[in-house]
Amino acid sequence: MQQLESKILKQKMPQALKNTVMVIGGAEDKVHGREILQAFFVRSGGNRARMAIIPCASREPRAVSSRYTGIFEDMGAKDIKVFDIRDRSEGEDPKWQEYLEDCTGVFISGGDQLRLCALVADTPMMEKLRLKVREGSIVLAGTSAGAAVMGHHMIAGGGSGESPNRSLVDMATGLGILPELIVDQHFHNRNRMGRLLSAIASHPDRIGMGIDEDTCAMVESDGIVQVIGKGAVTVIDTGELSYTNEAFVGASEPLSLFNLRLHILCHGDRYDLNNRSIINPENGERK
């Protein structure tokens, strides 16, 4: 029994690796257990972390950054800098790149993903951040709008609760941190399955990932996604997609998508992005 309990605990607890991208569905717990924010704090180095907060997606960046700064200070962080960039030209300031040189954790807050990309995409600061993530020296987390920007193709807005159709989703270019993904957030909470399917129909070479509130998909350097939090992560795998009528119907007409694979992952579940396979929680085999 003790061995079984130990095995379950190992499956449920996130394993700390050097470089992690934490994609958070929004509305993460900021008051009680703070499980997701605590995981980011620990993975960034705990009280030895050198952290940055990017609140650019919000129209109230000072209030947003103040709240996250207070949370991470309560956890024990000693070095936190706010990248309060309100004009694209500010992203060219060398001070951001200098701080990122030894930074261990960057947190991108929620708000408007178009606003965020308009301010920081293709700036020297963002290029430096992308490089540090790729080389494995920074843990990056993004919540809500900060999650939506992770892919190359980004859901910028749209509707909910309808059958998939092209008019249901507005697409834009994201930051390309996880280019193979198209991310949607507040997913089941706002009934966004149709929206994500609509996005996937126009970009069938990508993997759709819908993340619920207070839920995080942690993407490790080896392509393994591990889920923590109270909700689910929905993965739409297009690897065996055989047909879509996306190119042949009007913008408001329903879309056909044949032979998709759908996975619903909850706390402790894992998915292999590189092989597009579920990792069996009992024996570690890929399916």
Q: Which domains does the chain have, with CATH numbers?
A: 17-272 (3.40.50.880)
Express as a percent the part of the chain with pLDDT over 90. 90
The residues, ordered by sequence, that sit 6+ positions from 50 with a Cβ below 8 Å of its Cβ are 79, 99, 102, 103, 104, 105
List active site positions: 144, 162, 186
Report strand pairing: 50-54 vs 105-108. Answer: parallel
So what's the pLDDT on residue 19? 66
176 burial type by CB count under 10 A (0-12 exposed, 13-18 middle, 19+ buried): middle
**Tens digits of residue pLDDT in 120-156:** 999 999 999 999 999 999 999 999 999 999 999 999 9
The residues, ordered by sequence, that sit 6+ positions from 95 with a Cβ below 8 Å of its Cβ are none
pLDDT above 80 for 101: yes
pLDDT above 70 for 5: no
Residue range 180-204: average pLDDT?
98
For Cα atoms 85, 100, 76, give the angle at the middle one, nearest 5 degrees. Answer: 95
SS3 215: strand
In this structure, the chain runs to a length of 287
SS3 248: coil
Which residue from 92, 100, 19, 97 is spatially nearest to 52, judged by alpha carbons?
Answer: 100
243 burial type by CB count under 10 A (0-12 exposed, 13-18 middle, 19+ buried): exposed
> What does the mean pLDDT of the chain come to?
93
Q: Residue 24: what residue type?
A: I
So what's the pLDDT on residue 11? 40
- 237, β-bridge pairs: 261
**Tens digits of residue pLDDT in 217-269:** 999 989 999 999 999 999 999 999 999 999 999 999 999 999 999 999 999 99
pTM of the model: 0.92
Which residue from 256, 236, 235, 262 is spatially nearest to 165, judged by alpha carbons?
Answer: 256
Instruction: Calculate Rg over the CA atoms of the chain.
Output: 19
Ranges of beta strands (E only) in 165-223 are 169-173, 181-185, 207-211, 215-220
pLDDT above 80 for 3: no
Distance CA 277, CA 177 (A): 21
Edge-to-edge strands of the sheet including 20-24?
A: 79-82, 50-54, 105-108, 139-143, 20-24, 215-220, 224-229, 270-272, 277-279
User: What tokens does 251 get?
Assistant: 């913008």
